[in-house]
Structures are given as C-alpha cells and as structure tokens.
Amino acid sequence: MVYQNARNQAVASTDFAKLAHTILQQRFLRACVYQAPLAYTAAIVANLNFRNGIFSMFYALISPRTLGYTVAAYIAGIVCLAIHLQLFQVTRAAHSSHFPKLQRLLRSPASTGAVVGSFTLLAYFMLIVHRGMFGGSSMWLYPEGVYGPPQLNPGWLASWVFVTTVGVSYGLKLFMDERLQLAFPAIEQSRIYTIKDRLPSCFSTAFEFVSSTMWRFWLGYFFFGWGMYQSVCGVLGRIFTTSSYGVGSPLFSISNLAFWLHCSFSMALTWELAHQLFGIIITEPTRINELSLDRNFCLLNGLKYNESPLIQHWAYQELYRLTAFSAEQRTEILTDIDRKSGTMWSQISSECLKVVQTATEQLKKQTALSKPEKPNASSQSSADAKLPVSAGGAPIKDILMQNRRKSQGSEPQPVKKPEPIATPDLFSVEAQGLEKYVLTTLRDMLLQSPLGQRILLRSQRARSISTFANFQLQVWAIRSLMRLVESSLSEDKYGVVQGDIAKVLETLFVYLAELERCSKQTDSMSSKNDYNVQTANRQTVAMIQVLRNALYEFTTTFYDYLEALKLPPAQAQQLQKFADFMA
C-alpha cells in the first residue's frame, strides 16, 4: 500500500542510486523505530526475577526499572545500528585462517579502533546502568572500619575488566567473523515474522558469546588478575592511604559470577538484537523502480550502478522479484523498444550477461590453467551448418515416444585432467606496495612449516563459500535473465528476445563449462568423489546447479520450438544434452 501510494506520486527522477539513498535513510529510521520494542524485550529479559513469583514477573513488564533499562538498551542499540550502517559489507571476502583475520583488522585500524572503542564504551555504559539498577560490588571496601583507609574492591575491578573484555571481544568478533556481511533473504516475508524467527538465534548467539567470553576472561584473570589488582592498588597507594588487608578472589564468588553473567548477557542480547534488526531491514527487497515515472530506465540505472554494491544488489534483487512475480512489468520490459539507447531488454540482458562474463573471466584467472581447454563444441569442424536441436527425444508431451527422432548429441569428449593450481590464493584482500612485499615474504617463510600452513591456508569451509565475491548477484542475474527469456515465449510481442537467445545461451554455456572445469580441478586435487567437490567448492557446485536449472527450464519451456531456434552448432550440441536429459 505504501508503495502504491508512492507510485501514485511517482517522481520524475530515474536516478536509482539517489532514490536508493533515500530508501536507505528511511530504512535506518525504521530500524531505529523497531529498536524500541527490541530494547524493551531486552529490558524485560534483564528484569525477570523468578524468585518473587509470577506476579513480580508481570510487574517486571511495567516497572520503572524496566522502562529505565529500555532507554539504556535503546541508546546502545542505536549506536550498534549506526556502527553497522557505517561498516556493512555486501561483497564477500571470507577467510578463516588467523593471519588474514588479523590482516583484516589491521587494514583499517581507524574503523577497527572505532568499533572496538565504541563497543567498549557501550559496555561501560551498560555496566553503569546495570549497577545502578541491580546493584553490584562497590568500589571501595573498608576492612578497618568506615573511618579507616579504604581498599579497592577486587570484584569491582574484575567487573570493569570483564565488561572491557566483552566490549573488545564483540567488536573484534564483528570484524573477524565477518558479521558485518549482509546476507540477503531467499524469500520475502513480513518483517515481524522475520524478526520473530530470528529471536531464538539472537538468544542462543548472545549466550554462546557470553559463555565463551566469560570462560576466557576467567582463565585470563586467574593467571593475571592478581598481578593487575596489585598494580592498581600500588598506584592508588601512592596517591592516598589504602588498606592492605588480604581479600578473596572475585573469581570464586558466586554473586560476582552471576552478576557478570546477567550483565554481559543483557548487553550482548541488546547488541545482537540490533545486529539482526539491521540485517533484516537493510536486506529486505525494495521497490525503488516503482517510485520513478520511468521505472524501467530507473531499474536499468540501478543495474549499472557499481559504485555501491548494496544499491546494485537492491537493483538486481528488484529485477529478480519482478521477473518472478510481476507479469505486467515483465511484459513492459520486453515491449519497451522505443529508446535511443536500444531496447530495454537488450540493455537489461547485457547488464546481466556482463555479470556472468565477469565471473567467467575471474574464474578463469582463479583456476590459472596453463593450457585452457577449448570447449567441446568448438572442436567440431566449421563445416557444420547451423544445427537445429531435436526436440523429439524427450517425451515431454508424448509419453509413448512414438515420434522419437535420432538424437544429434555427439559422443562426449573425455575430460582432460586439469593441472593443479600453482600457488594457492592466500590473501583475500589485495595488498599493495611495501605491505605486499612484507606480507609476501612473510607468507613464503611461514609456508615452509606446517604451523605456517595452519596459520595461513584457508580452511575448506572458507574456501567453499568465497569462490565468488558477488555470488548472490550472479544468481539473481542468471535467474532473472532466464525468466525474461522464458516469459518471452508468450509476452514478447515484437520478438526482441529471440535474436539474443543464442548469445545468452553461449554465455551461460561458457560459464557452465568453466565452473565444471573448476569443480573437476578440485576433484582431482582432493579426492575422487562428488562429496568432496560439494564441500570443498560449495559455491561452484551451487552455481552449476543454478545454471543447469535455468538451462533445463529454458529447454522445457522452448521444447516445441528448439528446432526452429536455429542455434549455432556449439550451443545446439550442448542444448541437445539438456533436451535429452543427459546434461
């Protein structure tokens, strides 16, 4: 409804990026609004007290303490949202080994420092609020009476050290675990349902983080805590008279442990809720093109806009959505032929193909084959005329197969065993100048030892999910493109798509061949079974599935017209495999 209203007041601008920036601001404001109930949720969780019975729990819903904590959690959540807005990532550079993680932290020390510092300050702020509301160990002890010299409370000091650890750990975790990476949803759901579905994972993640941090802190403080306490007391003793009575360790105090757990869980939950909220709201599908009077051109501008990965992703997400669900706009794109720059279909398809072609080139570089194989089709003699694809082979409409015609698929050529990759890809982020020299020298030295390999080499999982930086964009581009091609069968009045089908198929087949070569290379390098290919090269296998799915869909949609397409021999031959269900 909102978008419908917006469309009624559509703007003349076709600048997708400009509109997208406005949407981004709106979404941030919406996130700030949604943060309020989430902060209230965190406040209720913090104020739950099972000791006083169920009525006290009801009272916790409206108690001043809950409302006060809500305000504090809201402020903390807004700061979290602001940090995410500044530092979110769209393209992926996953790397699980320790050195690149460290490298990632040091690459932008200013932002790393700012984030870590912000979360540490937030942790202090939450600790102060927590202490104000729920109490906690006081700063000074008076072992010699209230008129005697004070002594620094070790529990107090440990609390501050602990929350510092929590803040620093959370800030580092955001960078090292790539938590600022946006994950776009597979399907569109109501925002409320999505938030509701994410709540359990917020609780579990917060608890896991707190328990692991607490365990590490406890161990660290066990060894170094006493020394630290003595040092601080020494400094304080030089300033004013302090007592030196023996005190117990805060690490073995149940009340201290409970306080730390309660306090850190509340703050981690607040941050986690804000983190999930940001991800949900920012990655929701947009309808920016509908805001413009010339929506097709606006969308095209978005597809071309490569200055901001987020905005480009939004544009492809919109294209994917409208090709799947909006028959009206799909038809509009296919019949939009009266433009100086070319038909809308040709411009959109060339943008999508560009994504695929770029990915193909990148993959070729990545595989670093010494002798690139020629595709099977090109090995055929050029004397072959344009071969029509036989559609009689597959019994889509004739289960009895009485009209079966001879298949034109030739004998598949044996797959040439590719050579292994010469040098493994170690650094996901490219280094320059002196940094590159130092890092490369260090890398070469370290790689000589097993320990160095352990530190530097990517884990199988990291490698499997980081083959492509823009994996999601490619999936949207391929699926949108093929949906437009398929819908052209009934919706393309002027036949603008028909002339480009061969080009589209050629691009997809080349990419498919490259992906298959890449997966076979992994196969030969690791082990000879499909399971390893799947796990070691997950993105490659997934992309192969996406392509196969799209090509099969094309085949089944155009089944009756395959012969009439008059494709070049290379594509005809490869498409024949799909027509025969032998791909």
Partner 1 sequence: MCAYRATTFEERGIYPPPKESVTVGEADLKFIHLRDGNDPGLLQYVRNGGIAFPHIMVPDTLQLRSVSQPYSDANALPNAASVLRRSSGDQAETSANTKEGGLQSTLSTMVSHAAWLWNAKQNIGEAIDNIKTQSLLAVESWLPGPLSQVIFSHVSGTASAAKADALKIEEAEGYRSMLAKTEGPISCVAWHPHRSLIAIAHHAADCIFIYDLANDTWCANVLQNAYMKGISCMAWQPNCGYTLAVGCITGVCLWNIVPPSSAAETADVQKAPGLGSGQFSAWMTMLSFPPLSGANQYPSQLSASNHPVFHHTASSVSAITFSRNGQWLITGHQAHGHLTVWDVALGTATPLKRSGSTSRSATLQLGISPDDRYLVTTHANGQLRLWETENWASQVWSDFKTNVVQFAWSPDSKAVYFACEGGHDIYALVLYKMAPSLDADVTVVTSFEPHAATVTDEDGDSKRIHVGGAIKSLAVDPRGQRLVVSFDDDSTSGDISLLAVYLVDTEALFRAGGDSNALMPLGYIRGPNWGKQPQVERQPSDPTHKAEKAAKNRRVRVGTPIPSWFGFAPNFESGSLLTVAWANGKISFIPSLFASRISKQ
CB of 190 to partner 1, least distance (A): 7
Q: Which of 447, 583 has the CB closer to partner 1?
A: 583
Candidates 75-83, 171-179, 502-510, 529-537; binding stretch for partner 1 (CB under 8 A): 529-537
Name all contacts of 465-468 with Cβ < 8 Å and 24+ positions apart: 465/92, 465/94, 465/538, 465/539, 466/92, 466/93, 466/94, 466/95, 466/428, 466/539, 467/363, 467/366, 467/518, 467/537, 467/539, 467/540, 468/92, 468/359, 468/362, 468/539, 468/543
Q: Which of 246, 450 has the CB closer to partner 1?
A: 450
Candidates 164-172, 237-245, 296-304, 540-548; binding stretch for partner 1 (CB under 8 A): 540-548
Candidates 94-102, 112-120, 171-179, 192-200; binding stretch for partner 1 (CB under 8 A): 192-200
CB 523 within 8 A of CB 373: no
DSSP 581: T
Query: 124-135 as b/e, with b when 16 or more CB fall inside 10 Å?
Result: ebbbebbbebbe
Task: Tell me: does residue 2 bind partner 1 (CB under 8 A).
Answer: no
- Single out the residue of 51, 406, 422, 430 in contact with partner 1 (rule: CB under 8 A): 406
- Single out the residue of 177, 188, 361, 435 in contact with partner 1 (rule: CB under 8 A): 188
Task: Tell me: does residue 516 bind partner 1 (CB under 8 A).
Answer: no
CB of 467 to partner 1, least distance (A): 13
- Single out the residue of 202, 479, 485, 512 in contact with partner 1 (rule: CB under 8 A): 479
Task: Tell me: does residue 569 bind partner 1 (CB under 8 A).
Answer: no
CB of 393 to partner 1, least distance (A): 6
Task: Tell me: does residue 186 bind partner 1 (CB under 8 A).
Answer: yes
Task: Tell me: does residue 240 bind partner 1 (CB under 8 A).
Answer: no
Residue 11's φ and ψ, nearest 5 degrees, are -95, 160
Number of residues in contact with partner 1, rule: CB under 8 A? 50
Tell which residue, 136, 386, 340, has the closest CA to residue 258: 136
283 vs 270: CA distance, rounded Å:
20
Task: Tell me: does residue 335 bind partner 1 (CB under 8 A).
Answer: no
CB of 394 to partner 1, least distance (A): 6
Task: Tell me: does residue 193 bind partner 1 (CB under 8 A).
Answer: yes
CB of 58 to partner 1, least distance (A): 24
> Tokens 């107090």 identify what position?
156
24 vs 16: CA distance, rounded Å:
12
Q: Which of 11, 583 has the CB closer to partner 1?
A: 583
Query: What Å distances lie between residue 356 and 12, 186, 341, 521, CA to CA?
Result: 32, 20, 22, 20
440 vs 328: CA distance, rounded Å:
55
Which residues are registered as beta bridge partners of 11?
292
- Single out the residue of 185, 220, 234, 372 in contact with partner 1 (rule: CB under 8 A): 185
Q: Which of 425, 580 has the CB closer to partner 1?
A: 580
233 vs 241: CA distance, rounded Å:
10
Candidates 241-249, 366-374, 389-397, 567-575; binding stretch for partner 1 (CB under 8 A): 389-397
> Tokens 């917020």 identify what position?
202
CB of 286 to partner 1, least distance (A): 14
- Single out the residue of 135, 549, 560, 564 in contact with partner 1 (rule: CB under 8 A): 549
Candidates 104-112, 365-373, 505-513, 542-550; binding stretch for partner 1 (CB under 8 A): 542-550
Query: 252-271 as b/e, with b when 16 or more CB fall inside 10 Å?
Result: ebeebeebbebbbbbbbbbb
Q: Which of 340, 528 has the CB closer to partner 1?
A: 528
- Single out the residue of 42, 394, 510, 562 in contact with partner 1 (rule: CB under 8 A): 394
Taking residue 322's Cβ as centre, other Cβ atoms within 10 Å add up to: 25
Residue 383, classified by CB atoms within 10 Å of its CB into exposed (0-12), middle (13-18) or buried (19+), is exposed
**Secondary structure class of 28 (helix, strand, coil):** helix
Candidates 122-130, 131-139, 507-515, 528-536; binding stretch for partner 1 (CB under 8 A): 528-536
Task: Tell me: does residue 580 bind partner 1 (CB under 8 A).
Answer: yes
- Single out the residue of 4, 5, 9, 190 in contact with partner 1 (rule: CB under 8 A): 190
Crossing angle, helix 295-304 and helix 344-367, to 10 degrees? 20
Instruction: For residue 226, give the amino acid letter.
Output: W
DSSP 141: E
Task: Tell me: does residue 451 bind partner 1 (CB under 8 A).
Answer: no
Q: Which of 308, 407 has the CB closer to partner 1?
A: 407
Task: Tell me: does residue 181 bind partner 1 (CB under 8 A).
Answer: no
Angle at 512 between CA 507 and CA 518, to 5 degrees: 130
Q: Which of 116, 394 has the CB closer to partner 1?
A: 394
CB 171 within 8 A of CB 120: yes
- Single out the residue of 411, 423, 433, 448 in contact with partner 1 (rule: CB under 8 A): 411
> Binders of partner 1 among 26-65, rule CB under 8 A?
none
- Single out the residue of 177, 384, 398, 444 in contact with partner 1 (rule: CB under 8 A): 398
Residue 34's φ and ψ, nearest 5 degrees, are -70, -20
**Residue ranges that bind partner 1, judged by CB under 8 A:** 185-190, 193, 196-197, 325, 393-402, 404-407, 409, 411-412, 475, 479, 527-532, 534-535, 538, 542, 545-546, 548-549, 552-553, 556, 580-583
